[in-house]
Amino acid sequence: MASKIFLFFGEEDFLIQEKIKEFKKNIVNPSLNIEQIDGEEPEIERIVSALQTTSLLGGEKLVIIKYADLKLEEWGALLPSLKMVPSGITVIFWASAVDKRSKLYKLIDQIGEVYEFKPYAEWEQDQVVSWIVSRVKSLGKEMNYQAALSLREICGNSLYKLASEIDKLITFIGDKRSISEEDVVALASPGEITSFALSDAVATKNLEKALSAFRILYKNKGDLFQILSLLATQYRTMLQIKDLPGHKNDAKGIAQTLRASPYFVRKCMEKARRFDAEELKKNMELLLEADLKLKSGESQLSTFELLLVSLCLPTEVGKTEVGGR
């Protein structure tokens, strides 16, 4: 088989690693036939030797030159060897930097293949969601568009982060076939799980769940001021949503206006229907009072539990609720 020379570069390291894994799968006796060389400070003689030495037991050999700064002049000495790589050897340059004007870049582009791996842009939401769905499917599970969208909105566009969260979700659901949106929200991260569960329970006035989530946080020495801040942000966002009636159900438009996560805004829009503005303002005052009590040294446990009881009190009889209009 003819020699193959590849150049991989770009900001999305995860995709580069996945691409290299595909090459590694095709190598027999990988411990003998895969040679990885650190290219940060290139040892040209060692690289030349690797490019000229075929597999001892036959079959394909893979040479990976990792983190190569191809802007360095030293790489020019490698040109003659690249033109004479024996059949059966595949060479991958994983470059940390490239100069498209350099002789090395032009040679690889001429006799091999060059791939640039760019991260997804903020506006490429659909492509990221499609990647999530495809990734989950490749691991033997299913995930619908809405669940994948929620995961993307929570974690952003980092494929490293998304891949890690997908692995956790697959472990979390066990024998279940499909990952739901509820699974995504529940497994944001050990600290965030309970914080989000607490804020959701408070918003639905479920005192039992709110106290349960809080006691887990308290036992794990969670930062109570951060929890207060999360709750305050939730109520404040709901108030702001009510002041933006022109957006109606446009979560993306509201998120841009408030400079907030579309996922968080969409959840607040759903929760805001249960409140009117006066109750939201009252709850903000309760949070402020609790903050002052905590800072003055009053009991953390009793202060916070009393706060949750107050926040979860049912709406007064006869009070008009936004959701009931």
Contact 315, 279 (CB under 8 A): yes
CB 116 within 8 A of CB 125: no
Let me know: does 113 contact 6? Beta carbons within 8 Å: yes
Cβ–Cβ < 8 Å for 265, 244: no
pLDDT at 188: 58
Q: What was the pLDDT predicted at 249?
A: 66
8, 20 in Cβ contact below 8 A? yes
Which domains are delineated in the chain?
4-116 (3.40.50.300), 125-186 (1.10.8.60), 190-317 (1.20.272.10)
| Residue 51: Cβ-neighbour burial (10 angstroms; 0-12, 13-18, 19+) | buried
243 phi and psi angles, rounded to 5 deg: -85, 0
pLDDT in tens, the chain (325 residues): 455 999 999 988 999 999 999 999 988 888 889 999 988 888 899 999 999 888 877 788 999 999 988 888 889 899 999 999 988 899 999 998 888 999 999 999 999 999 999 888 766 878 999 999 999 999 999 999 989 988 887 777 889 889 988 998 999 899 999 999 888 877 755 445 567 778 888 988 989 888 888 887 787 777 888 889 889 988 988 888 887 765 566 767 777 777 777 777 778 888 888 888 899 999 999 999 999 999 998 899 999 999 999 999 886 533 433 333 3
Helix %, strand %, coil % of the chain (to 5): 60, 10, 30
Helix (H, G, I), strand (E, B) or coil at 308: helix
Separation of alpha carbons 252 and 258, rounded Å = 10
Question: CA-based angle 106:84:60, to the nearest 5?
Answer: 105
* 3-state secondary structure at position 107: helix
State the CB neighbour count (10 A cutoff) for residue 285.
9
Among the listed residues 232, 237, 229, 228, the one whose alpha carbon sits nearest the alpha carbon of residue 255: 237
CA distances to 35, 129, 142 from 138, rounded to whole Å, are 28, 14, 9
120-129: b or e for each residue (b if 16 or more CB lie within 10 Å)?
Answer: beeeebeebb
Our measurement of the distance from residue 52's CA atom to the centroid of its chain's CA atoms, rounded to an integer in Å, reads 41
Strand ranges inside 164-245, DSSP E: 178-179
Angle between helix 251-258 and helix 224-242 axes, rounded to 10 deg: 120
Phi-psi region of 315 (alpha: psi -120 to 50; beta: other; left: phi over 0): beta
